[in-house]
Amino acid sequence: MEATIQPGQHALLDYGVAATFFSMAARYRNHNPEASRLALLNGAMVLGVSLMTDYPGGLWRKISFKTHGVLDAVQAGLAGLGPVLLGFADEPEARFFYTQAASEVGVIAATNWNGMEQRALEASLD
């Protein structure tokens, strides 16, 4: 399968995922505090990594795009295992985390992790 998600597109997806997690944290706050905390933790992780990644949309650019990919896998694991670890695996809120984890795996598989190097090479040839 050829990677189709480029770094700029990945950045947009990341910021959308962070916003979704923060929205779900607010939604779950009074009904399921553990799910709310897990959503907040995932949102903060996605936002923090995104802000520090060397890609379009990154502000501090301390993390390479390839390292970002490794951290995406960690975040997918946190989302997928979090409901089990926090004791709400059999509650309806867990479905959101399982779905997000699966979606994250798909994004990881479809992302061009060499996209930043390719952009730099193209820029140097111009």
pLDDT tens per residue, range 74-109: 999 999 999 999 999 999 999 999 999 999 999 999
Whether 1 is covered by a domain: the verdict is: no
Whether 126 is covered by a domain: the verdict is: no
Average pLDDT on 3-10 reads: 93
Residue-range definition of the domain harbouring residue 84: 7-121
pLDDT for res 123: 72
Whether 2 is covered by a domain: the verdict is: no
Whether 20 is covered by a domain: the verdict is: yes
pLDDT for res 118: 76
How many domains, in total, are found in the chain?
A: 1
Residue 41, pLDDT above cutoff 90: yes
Rg (CA), the chain: 16
Residue 111 phi, psi dihedral angles, 5° rounding: -90, 140
* Residue 40 tokens, joined: 């907040």
Which amino acid is located at 20 in the chain? Answer: T
pLDDT for res 125: 78
DSSP conformation letters of 7-45: HHHHHHHHHHHHHHHHHHHHHHTTT-HHHHHHHHHHHHH
Whether 54 is covered by a domain: the verdict is: yes
